[in-house]
Structures are given as structure tokens and as C-alpha cells.
Structure 1
Amino acid sequence: MRVFFCLILLLMSSLTRTLVAAEVEPARIQIKEQIWWVGQQVPFTVQLRAPGSFSGAAVFSLPEIPRVVIIKTGSPVVSSEEIEGKTWFVQTHDFALFSQQSGTVTIPEFTVRFSHKDGFTGPVHDQSAQVPAAQVKIERPSGSSAQDFLVTTNSFKLTERWDPQPGTAAQGAVFHRTITQEADQVTGMALVPPPEGVPAGVRLYLGQPRVTDKTERGDFIGTRVDTLTYQLQEAGTWTLPAIRYQWWDPEKKAFGSQTLPAVTFQVKAMTTAETEAPVVQSNNIVYVWGAVVLLVLALIFWQWGRIRGLSERLKQRWHPPARVAERKLLAGCRKNDARATEAAWQEWQNRQGTGLVLSSELQAALQDLQRSLYGASPARDWQGTKLAQAFREFLHTTQGAETERRRELPALNP
């Protein structure tokens, strides 16, 4: 009878541990409940739980929400907690949300993929979990229109630079303008783009913005640099209107603004040359140039083999096959061309040596590519952004490791 009771207790203990494991949420989202401002950084965390140590990096499929930007910030923090006498490993990831829409913003459920062990040793298990949906309450400051692009920060810096300085110029002249914005606790992607309106006699070429985010001693600083090129196509007086940048200070609960002044160009019309003087060249000069051309052609024909070999060597040095394959792969990702990207990947992989170890993010992105080509979903639905980002990060990591390894090699003849 005593043995029977021991077996019952052991079974109940095992069942209790199983129920506890089943009740533990593998992914949990935490957002501070308060009213946030439009354009303000809304920090939140996602906690992953596993019965053993984590392996590799977690991959989040962040949702796309209209007029909302979500970015990952910082590095994950690993800790542990006791649940019903069992130790669980916890990995905390920090995120930031920036919304240009007011009201209740819903973050829909999204997928996270991560790997872990059972305890500290043993094989690695891949796991997929759903991060629960969450809601954030966003308020727009009084006096701000719903159509306004609002930046919310307690520190905003704005500078501009012209090359050359604007003023009187000839018809067809080109001026370059660089506008730099910097704000605390705001991602560069949430800073306002410059206006594109110009007078009729001026043409604007808007360059690709340079957006960066940096963390410095706990401060989050976003920067956006816009390059605008103006071509003065018609004669006359043309004025670029002033550009007013406005932001909301959440601490002072007041608007701040800074204005780039209006710029006026006095454009002079191009004068037509009266008559082009005929260029008279002596026969001797023509004969000399003809002889030089013939001599050069003869040297090229005589040394054609060496020139061709040198050209091939320079081509291999300046455009190594692996680097060419990298550019093809990234170009295929930009065009969302799954088949071209697959071909470029095979070409790049063939150029690598043995023992190539891919990151978990790159493996996941390649699996998505393979599924789009050979799975049920058509290849035209494939998006190459994820693979391009993972491939760039992998190249950056491996090239940095190779540089460090070379530095550590001892000198041949100390």
C-alpha cells in the first residue's frame, strides 16, 4: 500500500510540473499603461521564457501598422526566475514605438522564433511563439492637426548647409542643400522629411535620406540628413519658401519651432555666342596626331596578350567573384526577385571555403526564400528586405572577425 501511495504522489508531482510548464507563457509583452503623445517614444519589452539557456539570436516578425514605426533598441538581457520550484531562463528585448496616429493604437499579435536548450547542456531546440497583442493610448496635443507630422522630444537641433552659397547665378546652375535634424528619444525614421515644393523655374532632386540612431550613456538620439539639389532652369527671380520645423516638448507641454529662412536666386539668362570662330588647324598638327594614334594602335596590337591578361587580373582584384555575387544577391533582394536572388546565393556560396557557419537570422531568411520558390506561396509574393538585412549583418560580422584574426597573428620574422 505504501508503494502505491508513493507512485500516486510521484505521478501527481509530474503532472503538476507539466501543467506549470504548459501555463508559462513563452512570450510576453509589457507596456507601461499611461497616455502617450503623438510622435513620442513608447518603450515596451518582450520577454521570452525557456526551460534552458538560449542559443543564437531571436528573430521577430514585427507587424506593419499604418503611420506607426516599431524598432528594436539595445541588446537583450538574460535573467532567470523561479516558477513553482522550476528555474526558467528569461530573455528581455527592448523595443520603441512611434505613432503619428492618435487614439487607441493596437499592436497585433506577431511571431518570434528563438532557440534554447533543456537546462545548460543538451541539444538546441527551435521554438516559435506568438507575442500577444497589446494596445497603446496616444494623444495629440491641442493645436496640432491630424495631417501634421509631429516630432515629440525635449531636445531638437536643426542645421543646414549650402554648396555653393545661394545668390546670383547663371541659368542652369546647380546648388546643393544639406538639412540635418537631431532629436533626443526619437528614431531618425520618425523625423519629418523636407517639403518638395519649389517655384516653376527651379527643379528639385531629392536624395535618399541618411537615417541613424545611436545610444550614448542611456540616451537615444535619432538623426536624419536630407540632401536637396536645386537646378535653376529658367531665368528670373525665384524664391524658395522658408521651412518651419515644429516639435512638441512633453516636459514643458509646449510647442517649439525653428525656421530655415527663405532663399532667393537671381538667375541670369544664358547668352548665345555671336558666331563661333572656325578652328583652323595646320596640316602638320593633323599629321602628328594621326601618327600618334597609329603608334598607339600598333602598340596595343603588339602587346594585346599582356594587356588582356593584365585586364583580367585587375578585374579579378577590383571585382572579385565573391563580391560580384554579393552585389547580385542584394540587387535581387531590392527587386524582390526570388529566382535571381537564389542564383546569386548559390554563386556566392560556391565561392566560400569549407566550414561556413551561417547566422540564425540568415538561415531563417534563406528558408523563407526557399519556401517562396518551392513551397505553396508563389515566388512573386516574396520580399527581399529581411534576407538583405540578415546578409549584410552576416557579412559585417564575418569580415570583422577575419580582421581581428589577422591582427592576432604573430609576426613571421619577429
Structure 2
Amino acid sequence: MKGDARLIIAKLRDKTPLSADELRWFATGLANGDVSDAQAGAFAMAALLNGLTDPERVALTLAMRDSGDVLNWDLPGPAIDKHSTGGIGDAVSLLLAPALAAVGAYVPMVSGRGLGHTGGTLDKLESIPGLDTEVSEDRFRQIVEHVGCAIVSATGAIAPADKRLYAIRDVSGTVESIDLITASILSKKLAAGLDALVLDVKCGSGAFMKTAQDARALADSLVSTANGAGCRTAALITDMNQPCCPSLGNVLEVMEVMEALTEGDASGALCDLAADLGGALLVLSGQADDTGLAAGTIREAIRDGSAAERFGRMVAELGGPADFVERWEDRLPAAPVVIDVMPLRPGVVSSMDGTAMGNVVVHMGGGRMTSGDEINPAVGLSNVAALGDDVGPDQPLARVHAASLADAEMAQQALQAAMSVSDGPTEIPPLIHDRIFP
């Protein structure tokens, strides 16, 4: 169809329903330049202020997906994936993808880099020396087929309409639109040709969605839209009032994953979350009937070493050391300055400002202040005290890994301000707040 950006924007402004053809034309225009920056910004603002209907949101998602390459798979098992809305100490993908592969699923995970105060799965994986997540589509297919999982970066041919609209939203004050967040996340994920998807929607001080109400609204939008677009999808709303694991920073989070994989210890929040998300995926994809039993198979893959074996094969296929699983402690870079951060007073950890804690790592060089910044993979925080833990003269808040003493002292002061200590007992929030299935 021949479209008219001005007419489409006016209809959205006036709350007149848009057709799938109109949204398809607009997405194509975003990708090929027929839609100007001004028109894209006006569209985004109208969507933020007026919202999209359920059919419009599905149509926009599919149109943005179809603006570029869409993968198709011919595999002996389902192609499934997980997506997190972002948090701190969240290395679940590195644990879950090989565990799913070990139980017969295929995980073509197109992932992202750090955004704001949150860490990025690709940055964590690329802290392994020699590993490169930027591979061709053919190579991506080979790794998924041979190993069962591959975690890679998106090519420029994946959802180019979203790449354009994402940049416009960033500079036009429209990032908060749940409809556009939904279309952005799902257009990229569905371009991977998935049979099933589970979404980890974070909620709390370290998440983008701070309140339970906002997290629920996003989770509902994602689940209804993805299922409307033909992909079996569920969501878990999970807690981000403290880190998923007691480390923040690329190498330090990889170390947490490797300890779980190589020691066969499937306990702790990181493994609990991986098991619950994996169990949901196995049920969604028809590989299991009961989420609890399916979660148990994920834990067993971690315990028996089969997930570690898959992780090692993936690392080698992406250019990392072939003996990484056996010698990971020798292969990862270390920061030159390590100090313990003591609390300003003894007591119990009662709350954390997760965003501030994530920014501590960013300001030490563990994340990007601007898109072109180079990351120092070794810096970050380890041994982070959990909510309810006693801290005091012999029990630190955390351990700082820094490139310089000045950075370490800066991190110490910021961390002491970000972690509150009180006298009384602390209420510990549940790891999983809600489960949303189709």
C-alpha cells in the first residue's frame, strides 16, 4: 500500500484505529527512511499519550519484526528463548541457555549489551578472552544446531525499524511508552523464529520498572502481544530489590555462573530463577506438562555437569578458550585493587538502591556512560550482602574490584550510601512476585 505518515500520525493522535497495513507501511518507512525523524518522534509521542489498542500493538510488533530478516529453524526440538527487562547481578541467561540445551531444547538467544545501570549479557560473555558474539547468520545457525544454544548480538538486518524508533524514543522523551517497549522487545525476539518465549519482568529498586503495578502492566502487555503474534509466551515478575547473585560486574558475574556450573550447586536465587524460567519454557514448548517437574530437570542439568559441558562448547564455538570450563579461574582477568566496604554502623541490611549500585559499577568502567565507551570487564562488586544479612566490623557490605585506589574509594562511599543498615529484622521480598501464563 502507499502510505501517508502524516495521516497515520493524525489518526493515532485522534485515537482513530490504525490498520495492520498502515502500521506495516510505517514500520517499513522507519527502516528505509521514508518516515522522517520528526514523523517518527510525533508517532512515538502520540503512542505514549494515547496508547495503542491490543490489535494495533500486535500489528506494530509484527510489522517491526518483518522490517528485517526473520529466522526459520528446522531443528529436532523447539527453538525457545528467555528475555529479561534488565536488572543488576542478573546472569541468568548464561546459566539457563546451556541448561536448556542439555535437556534437548534449542536456544537461539539474540541478546543485548548493558543499558543504563543494568548489565548486558553480551558484555558478560565477551569478558571471556577471545570470545566474540558478533557472528554471521550462517555461523549462528551452525552453533545452535551443533551445541543447542548460542548467545549472540543482533545483526543490523534484525528489526531495523525498531533500531530507528528506539533511537528516536531515546531523544524524544517517549521511552516510557509500554506499547512501544513491548513492540521493541518482541520485534527483536520474534525475529529469531521462536516457538516459545519466557519473559523475566524485573520489579524493584534495581529494575527499570520500580513498582509492582508498572511491572504487571508491562508483563501483561508483553504476554498478550507475543501470544497474539503467534508465539507461546509467559512471564514471571521477579524481584529486583537486591541483585540476583551476590556479584555485579561482567567477570564477577561470569564467575558466579561458573561456580554454579562446575560445582553442581543448584541452590541460590540465580539457580532458582533459571529453574523457574526454564520450567515455564519447557511447558510452553510442549516438552513438559508440569512446571515444577520441568524446573527440576533444569536443576539436574546444572548439578550433573551437562549444562557446564554445553556452556564450554558454546564458548569454544564463539572463539573462547576450548578448556574454559576446566580452567576458568585462570582465564578471566582480575582487577588490580580489591577492598572490602564496611558499613558506617553495624546492623542488618534493610534496603538497597539497586540503580545506585549498578551505577557504581558503571562509573568504575564496568558499563558505558556513552555508547562508544570501552568496558573494563574485571571491575565490579562481589560478596554483596543480601537483605537481612548482619553487617558490622567483621562483615562487609561488599567487596570492590577496581582499576585504581581512587575508583575503589569512590565506589566505597557510593555503596555505603546505597545500602541501608538498621537495627531490626528486615522483610525479605519473594524472588517471584507473580506468574502470567497465556
Q: TM-score, normalised by structure 2?
A: 0.23
Higher relative contact order (CA 8 A, sep 6+): 2
Larger radius of gyration: 1
More strand by share: 1
More helix by share: 2
